[in-house]
Amino acid sequence: MHVDPYIVLGSAVIGFLVGMTGAGGGALMTPMLILLFGVTPSAAISSDLVAAVVMRPIGAGVHLKKGTVNRSLVGWMVLGSVPSAFLGSYLLHLMGNAKAAQENIELALGAALLLGSAAMVLRYYLDRRTGESRTARVHEIVTRPLPTVLIGVFGGIIVGMTSVGSGSLMIVLLLFLYPMIGANQLVGTDLTQAVPLTAAAALGALAFGHVEFGVTLSLIIGSVPSGLKYVGVGTEALGWILCTVLLATATAWLITTKPWLKPNPDDEPLPD
């Protein structure tokens, strides 16, 4: 199992952005792995899901402690999302590892990213147009079970197949269904339901054999800034920690690889 320092670097930057903005990590991590590091789409999706299982409970625990989680919404969403997330991982497995299959997976990932982005833009436009302010707290929300379960089912399949949606698409769908829910309550509820959702998708990924554990470990190491932000580390301190993580990663890479000891091909003697 090899830790890739470049993936650690990239995931650390993304972890910093996720910690600062609350954006969905899957919408950034998975495309990074595919576009920058050449990881196959199925492996990138599965490895990111397994890494997310380690990080997401931290933020969920903070929100549960603060009381910004609507447990009823979480329960209904999980009822739909857990089995459908495992199904999504199975569908990813059925698509196979051939080049054509990987291209289809990329198309599905791109569609999920575009759908999540469009939903966020639409929600922002509607909020500005109607002038609604989201101030309702968790105990003021009247749960609508059936559509909440359907959000879970839809989001679970998307997450299982693409790793995208738990922090972008599903949170926007919750906003459409519960337009008055406060921002902290929305984030806390979505983050908490994402824990069992991601665990189910990751279990499916492990069962069907897509995970590259070196990639997963690299993502976990680099995602430390995101976890620290969740537990209350300030912005300035988070920036210094990010710099320290990157410096330590570079040092570890230099020590383990010793690139200065590798022979230069230009110095090798020519054959007789």
In three-state secondary structure terms, 258 is coil
| pLDDT of 269 strictly over 60 | no
pLDDT at 266 over 60: no
Measured CA distances, 208 to 31, 92, 97, 202, 205 (Å): 21, 9, 12, 10, 5
Q: How confident is the model at residue 23 (pLDDT cuts 50, 70, 90)?
A: low
Choose between 131 and 18: higher pLDDT: 18
Contacts of 234 (CB under 8 A, 6+ apart): none
Residue-wise pLDDT tens digits, 159-218: 998 888 777 788 888 888 888 888 778 888 888 998 999 999 999 989 887 788 888 888
Which residues are within 8 A (CB) of 168 and not within 5 positions of it... i.e. 6 or more apart?
23, 24, 26, 27, 116, 117, 119, 120
pLDDT, residue 135, reads 66
Residue 99 burial class via C-beta count within 10 angstroms: exposed 0-12, middle 13-18, buried 19 and up: exposed
State pLDDT tens for residues 27-66: 788 888 888 888 888 888 888 888 888 878 877 888 888 8
Q: Yes or no: say if 156 and 84 are a contact pair by the CB < 8 Å rule.
A: yes
Tokens of 16: 């910093």
Instruction: Read off the pLDDT of residues 108-158 as tens digits, 9 standing for 90 and up.
Output: 888 888 887 787 777 677 667 655 566 666 667 888 999 999 999 999 999
Residue 96 has pLDDT above 70, yes or no: yes
Given a cut of 70, is residue 19 above it in pLDDT?
no
Token pair 């690889």 is found at 257
Q: What is the pLDDT of residue 116?
A: 75
Contact 33, 51 (CB under 8 A): no
Find the distance separating the first CA and the last CA of the chain, reported in whole Å: 40
Whether the pLDDT of residue 233 is over 70: the answer is: no
Cβ partners under 8 Å of residue 39, min gap 6: 33, 47, 212, 215
Q: What is the mean pLDDT of residues 224-228?
A: 68
Count other Cβ atoms within 10 Å, centred on residue 242. Answer: 19
Among residues 204, 210, 200, 188, the alpha carbon closest in space to that of 81 is found at 200
Distance between CA atoms of residues 150 and 194, nearest Å: 15
Confidence of residue 83 (pLDDT cuts 50, 70, 90): very high
